[in-house]
Amino acid sequence: MPTYHEIMTADLGTLTAAAERWDGMAGEFAKQERAYRTGVYGVTAGPAAWAGMSAEAAHGRFAVTLKEFAHARTEAKAIASLLRDAHAQFVELKGRLTAVRREAAAVGLRVSDRGLVAADPGAGHDAGGGHEPDVHSWQARIDKAVRDITDADTGVRTALTAVVVDSDPLAGGRGFNGRAMGDVEKYEAVEADRLLARLSRGAHLSDRELAELERAFRDNAADVEFSRTLLDGLGADGTIRLTNQLNDLLQVRGGPSGASLRACSAIETGLADSLATAARDTHSEWYRRWRAEMREAGVERAATAAQGARLDQAVGYQSLVTLMRHGHGYAPGMLEDLTDDMIAAERREPGIWRLKGTYAGRHDGWFANDPVDGALGLMSRDPGTAAHYLSDEARMTYLMKDRDWDVTLHVREGPTATRYVAGPDADDRAGLGAALQAAATGIDPSDRRAHYVSHGAPNETVFRSALHQLADRGDEFPPSLRRPMAAILVNHGATVHASMSEIDIAHSPLDQGELFEVTKQVSKDEGAYGALNGGLNQAMVSTIHADHGHSADSLTRAGRTVGFLEEARLQAQGDPKTAEFEAKPLFDKAISYIPVASDDVQAGFDYVTDQWLEDEQKRLDEKQEEGNVRSYTVRNQQLMALAREWSKANRTDGDSLYDPQAEIHRSAGDGMTHALGVSGEPPK
C-alpha cells in the first residue's frame, strides 16, 4: 500500500520507460520468431531431405517452440500496454491528490509530507480549534485520494501477476501467455469473476478475498470494460444466482457480520453499479445479447434460503430488480426495456410473481416480489424517463386498468383447511405511485432537496392521463395512489384551481367530472386530504396576488374552489368504507412540489393554511363531519383569511361598497352546488 509520501515523490515516467522496453522486447521476439520459422521450423515444414519419423517428431516440437515465440511477443506487448494503462491511471489520480492538497492550502490548511492535514499558523487562522471541522473534512478528502491510488495500484498488481500466467496445457503452464490482455480492468474482472463464482456456489470466502472484491468494485464499477468482462463471465443466470446468494447472506439469519457483512453489502452495490455501467449503451451488441439472455434467466425459478423459508422459489426478474435497487445511473432505455420485458413475461404467464406472504416494510421489503412495480420505482429516480415511459397510453392503460396487482398469496384460515388467496402486497403500487408522481411533476419524490420545475409536454400528458384513468376507476381507485395523486394535483395547482373554480364546464382546463371524482377519492385518505387542501391554498393565494385589475374574480374563484373541495370531502366522508379522521391534517408548507412563490404570496399562503388547519381542528372538536350536512361554514376561518388576503392585495380595506367576506361565502356555496352537480349525486 503506497503512502502519501511515496505517491507524491514517485517518478511515474519510469512506467512509460519500462513500457517502451517491453515494446522493444516484443519486437525482438518477432525477429527471433521469423528467424526460427525460416532456419529451424522450415526445415521440417516443406519438401526437404529430412523425412521420416524423426522429422515428424521434430516438426511437432519445433511448432510448439515457434508458437511460444508468438506468445512471448503477445505477452510482452500486453505488459507494455498494462504499464501504459497504469501510468495513465496513476497520473490522473495523483493529479487529483495534488489538486486536493492545493485546494486545502488555498483555504489556509497545510498538508504534511505524510499526508496529515493541519491548520497553517502562518495563514492567520485561530489556533484554538476553530478550524477543526475543516481539518477533518479535508483529511477525509486526502485519505480518499490516497485510497483511490492504492486501489488502482492493487489492480495493476493483479493484472501484472495474471498476465504472465500461461493456461496452455501443451506448455504445461510454463510457457508464455498467448491470450495476454493489455487492459488492467479486464484482469481485475477475471479475478473478481473467479471469486464471485465461488461465492455464488456457496463457498466461504476469506475476509481478505471479500475485501479484494470490495476493492475491485470500488475501483472499477464505473469502467465499461471491467463491468462487461465481469458480467460476461457470470452470464445472466450466474448474475441471478450470485444475487440470490448475496441476498441469503445478507437477509437470512446466521449470515456474516461485522466487516464481512459490510463487504457483502458493498459487493452487492458494486455488482448493481457494474450492471448500470455495462448496459449504459442500449444500442450496443453487448446489451442486445445481455437482454436476450436475461429474458430467459428472468423467468426461471431458483431455490433460495430466503424464499425457501416460505416454501417458495424466487423468479429471476425478482432477484434482478432486487439487485438493481442497490445501484444507480441506469440508462433510460434499459429501465424501459426491462419493464416491458417483465410485462411481456407476466402476460404470457399470469401470476408468475406470486409468492407466499408479504414482502413489505422495514424487515421484509428488501425483496422485489413485484419486479414490475420495483422497476417503476427505479424509474421514478429519473423523472424524464418516467415521463417518457408513462406518456405512452397503452402502458398507462395496462398499469392503471388492466394489470393484475395481486402478487401476494395471503393465508386464509377456513373451517376445514388453510388456503392461500391472491391479493395485493402491503406496499401495493409503491413504485407506480412514485413513477406517476415523478412523471407528472418532473420531480424525484425521494429527493428531499428537490424543488419545483416547469412542466413539459410529457408531464402534462401523464397528468391528464392519470386523471382520466383514475377517475374511471371510481370507488375502485387504488388507495395506495391517493397520496401520490394529491401531490400531483397540488403540483399542477394553478390548473386544478382554475378548473375547480370555472363556471363554464366547457372552458375548464380539466374535465370537471374527472377532477371531482379524483379529488373525492383522494380525500378518503387523511394524509392525501391534508396535502391537497393545504397545497391548493398556495394556488388560490397566488391567483389573488397575480390579479392586478382590482376585480373580484380571484376572490370568487377562491371561494368556488373551497366549495368544490368541501363537497368532495363530504362525499368522501359519506362513504361508509372511509374511516373518520381522528386528527387534523398535517401539512408541510415547505414541500418541494409546490411552485416557489414571492414573499407576499408565501406569507399569505402560510396565513391561509394556518386558518384552514384551525377550521379542521374545530371540525373535529365539534364533530361536524356528519356526511349528510353540506355546509361551507366549517371552513369559515379559511374563507375569511382568503378574503382578508384579497383585500390586502387589492388595498380595499375599509371599502364599504364591497364586502369580500360576503362574496367569498356566497361563492363557496356556489362552488359546492356546482361540484354536487358535476358529481352526478342527487341533492340532499
| Per-residue pLDDT tens digits for 336-374 | 999 999 999 999 999 999 999 999 998 889 999 999 999
Q: Which residue has the higher pLDDT, 132 or 348?
A: 348
**Helix, strand, coil shares of the chain as percentages rounded to 5?**
65, 5, 30
| DSSP element (H, E) containing 109 | strand 109-111
End-to-end CA distance of the chain: 81
pLDDT digits (tens, 9 = 90+) for 202-254: 899 999 999 999 999 999 999 999 999 999 999 999 999 999 999 999 998 66
Asked if 534 contacts 489 with a C-beta cutoff of 8 angstroms, the reply is no
pLDDT digits (tens, 9 = 90+) for 584-629: 455 564 466 777 667 777 887 887 888 877 777 777 766 654 544 4
**What is residue 628's predicted lDDT score, i.e. its pLDDT?**
43
Q: What percent of the chain has pLDDT over 70?
A: 88
Tell whether the model's pLDDT for residue 551 goes beyond 70. yes
Neighbours of 231 (CB within 10 A): 23
Asked if 447 contacts 457 with a C-beta cutoff of 8 angstroms, the reply is no
The region of weakest confidence among 258-267, 424-433, 479-488 is 258-267
Asked if 299 contacts 316 with a C-beta cutoff of 8 angstroms, the reply is yes
| DSSP element (H, E) containing 413 | strand 408-413
**What is residue 460's predicted lDDT score, i.e. its pLDDT?**
98
- Whole-angstrom Cα distance, residue 241 to residue 197? 9
Mean pLDDT of the chain: 88
- Whole-angstrom Cα distance, residue 419 to residue 349? 22
Crossing angle for the helix pair 224-251 and 285-297, to the nearest 10 degrees: 20
**Phi/psi at 567 (nearest 5 deg)?**
-65, -40
* Residue 669 confidence class, pLDDT cut points 50, 70, 90: very high
- Whole-angstrom Cα distance, residue 678 to residue 517? 9
Q: What percent of the chain has pLDDT over 90?
A: 64
Crossing angle for the helix pair 53-106 and 13-36, to the nearest 10 degrees: 170
**What is residue 653's predicted lDDT score, i.e. its pLDDT?**
64
E-assigned strand segments in 497-656: none
* Residue 71 confidence class, pLDDT cut points 50, 70, 90: confident
Q: Of 213, 295, 210, 296, which is closest to residue 256 (Cα–Cα)? A: 210
- Whole-angstrom Cα distance, residue 376 to residue 214? 29
- Whole-angstrom Cα distance, residue 234 to residue 214? 17
Tell whether the model's pLDDT for residue 583 goes beyond 60. no
pLDDT digits (tens, 9 = 90+) for 505-547: 999 999 999 999 999 999 999 889 989 998 998 999 999 988 8
Q: Any idea of the CA torsion for 614, 615, 616, 619, to the nearest 10 degrees?
A: 120
Q: What is the average pLDDT across 21-34?
A: 88
pLDDT digits (tens, 9 = 90+) for 625-648: 454 445 556 678 889 889 988 888
Q: What is the average pLDDT across 136-164?
A: 93
**Phi/psi at 355 (nearest 5 deg)?**
-130, 160
Q: In degrees, to the nearest 5, what angle opens at C-alpha 408 toward C-alphas 402 and 411?
A: 135
* Residue 77 confidence class, pLDDT cut points 50, 70, 90: very high
Q: What is the average pLDDT across 46-56?
A: 63
**What is residue 627's predicted lDDT score, i.e. its pLDDT?**
45
What is the residue whose three cell numbers read 479484494? 212
- Whole-angstrom Cα distance, residue 386 to residue 332? 9
- Whole-angstrom Cα distance, residue 269 to residue 525? 36
- Whole-angstrom Cα distance, residue 112 to residue 119? 11
Q: What is the average pLDDT across 116-140?
A: 72
Q: Of 487, 457, 477, 514, which is closest to residue 593 (Cα–Cα)? A: 487
Q: Whole-model pTM?
A: 0.84
**What is residue 577's predicted lDDT score, i.e. its pLDDT?**
59
Neighbours of 242 (CB within 10 A): 21
pLDDT digits (tens, 9 = 90+) for 398-442: 999 999 999 999 988 877 777 889 999 999 999 999 999 999 999
Q: What is the average pLDDT across 6-20?
A: 94
What is the residue whose three cell numbers read 479475478? 191
- Whole-angstrom Cα distance, residue 134 to residue 109? 8
Asked if 623 contacts 640 with a C-beta cutoff of 8 angstroms, the reply is no
Q: Which residue has the higher pLDDT, 54 or 191?
A: 191
Tell whether the model's pLDDT for residue 109 goes beyond 80. yes
